[in-house]
Amino acid sequence: MAALILSKTSPIEILNKFMLGFFYTKSNGTLAKKEGQLAWVLLFPTLLIIFSIVILPLISIFWISFKPISLSDLRPPKPIIKERLKGKLEIEGDKGEIHYRIRNSSRDQIINNVKLVDTIPRGLKVLNLDDRCQIDQRKLSCNLGSFKGGYREVLKLKVTSDEIFYINKILPKETIPKMTGKSENVLTNLNFSLVNFVKIFDRDEFFQVLFVTLFYTVFGTVGALLMGLLAALILNTNFRGQGIFRGLFLFPYVAPVIAVAFTWVLLFDPFSGSINALLIQMQVIETPINFFGKRPLALIMVTVFEIWRYFPLSFLFILARMQSIDNEMYEAAEMDGASPFQKFWYLSIPMLLGILSILFLLRFIWTFNKFDDIFLLTGGNAGTRTLTVNVYEQAFALSNIGAGAAVAVVIFMFLLIFSILFFKFISREEGL
């Protein structure tokens, strides 16, 4: 074959084809390299935004979770001073006191090498001086040593006035004292601890909160999917007013959460709620029921609210998938004598498993992270406190931001493991 080719093609033509192929490949490779560089340049703003709003906060949460700190520790400790002149200095020779109220801004951290510098106003003569201080031409300097956490002190200097003081009328508050010191910022140092995680897992309360979170997430997710599937089945058929009903079904999802949450609270109020009044008039109950203030009814109610509010999202996706299924399969099944249930179970469900799997994953993650619904309905009381509500209470209500970050890390790890298992086992069967 090679001999046949050589016999029909001259050596010059072979060399020309080789050179053209070489330069074309080389130029193509260079172009591809430039295109790749351009792609990275265009993607850089996007990557920077992702790093700024996703990765950097995530790293910060992990960092804080290993530090037993409170909200007050987010700022580095520093010495604080307030100066005040005590006494009535009305004529020459009157005596008074300059008070320096000094303290450590932190309750726990130590400030070392604290120094105070101030200028004594003209016309005031210092009568006594603290052993830690010295004056050089009205320049007051004090070496106050170390301040422990929560340290407070009032440094007093007795002074007397003369005529120059009244002429100049310079008060101590017009000469601002300065304090310096060296301290270690617990937020930025490299000392890490597992105290926050130990406190979390040592409490039985954590596992109760975890159970409430799983109950709320699983039943809220499954209920929203089932209700969305039912709504899609109802509106998948053509009837008069179909578009109006589709719009009404979307109302719970598009309405402001604060509006619908307070509407539910008012409707189910045990004293002035319409639901309790209606049930009493129908003789279903004898006394009003505190739906959002009684265990375990409160947990059931917030779960029902979750199902009602977020089933429209499932309804939209499932209905769109249903309308893309070929009707010929249903017609063939009907000719074979299949019942409506059999067509639904053996034809519709297999075609909907993919979208149902995706919806289950998304709704599970979103419901597990849900905070505003429960906080608006119950505030986390009556056995409805989830992990996200616990993050808020630890970080802001108790000012223990380290423990709050630790709970947030637990939430992240739990959802990460759930997502890995989902894609490894469940989605593989659906071909996702």
Q: Residue 309: pLDDT above 60?
A: yes
Q: Is the pLDDT of residue 327 over 90?
A: no
Determine the average pLDDT of the residues in 368-376: 93
**Residue 366 belongs to a domain with what CATH number?**
1.10.3720.10
pLDDT tens-digit map of 331-357: 888 888 888 888 888 888 989 998 999
CATH at residue 142: 2.60.40.290
Q: Is the pLDDT of residue 168 over 90?
A: no
- The reply to whether 54 falls in a domain is no
Whether 94 maps to a domain, the answer reads yes
Domain shared by 153 and 226, yes or no: no
Q: Would the pLDDT of 370 be above 90?
A: yes
Query: SS3 string of the chain?
Result: CHHHHHHHCCHHHHHHHHHHHHHHHHHHHHHHHHHHHHHHHHHHHHHHHHHHHHHHHHHHHHHHHCCCCCHHHHCCCCEEEEEEEECCCCCCCCEEEEEEEEEECCCCCCEEEEEEEEECCCCEEECCCCCCEEEECCEEEEEEEEECCCCEEEEEEEEEECHHHHHHCCCHHHCCCEEEEEECCCCCCCCCCCHHHHHHHHCHHHHHHHHHHHHHHHHHHHHHHHHHHHHHHHHCCCCCCHHHHHHHHCHHHHCCHHHHHHHHHHHCCCCCCHHHHHHHHCCCCCCCCCCCCCCCHHHHHHHHHHHHHHHHHHHHHHHHHHHCCCHHHHHHHHHCCCCHHHHHHHHHHHHHHHHHHHHHHHHHHHHHCCCHHHHHHCCCCCCCCCHHHHHHHHHHHCCCHHHHHHHHHHHHHHHHHHHHHHHHHHHHHHCC
Please tell me whether residues 323 and 384 are part of one structural domain.
yes
Q: Once rounded to an integer, what is the mean pLDDT over residues 65-80? A: 84
Among 183, 203, 220, the domain boundary falls at 183
Mean pLDDT of the chain: 85
369 and 263 in a single domain? The answer is yes
In this predicted structure, what is the pLDDT of residue 62?
93
Range of the domain at 104: 77-183
> What is the predicted pLDDT for the residue at 306?
95
> Which whole number is the average pLDDT over 266-293?
91
Q: How high is the pLDDT of residue 174?
A: 56
pLDDT band at 163 (very low <50, low <70, confident <90, very high): low
Decide which of 148, 183, 218 is a domain's last residue.
183
Domain identity same for 383 and 283:
yes
Q: In this model, does residue 316 exceed pLDDT 70?
A: yes
Q: What is the pLDDT of residues 93-115, one digit of tens each?
A: 788 888 999 999 888 888 999 99
Residue 42 lies in a domain: no
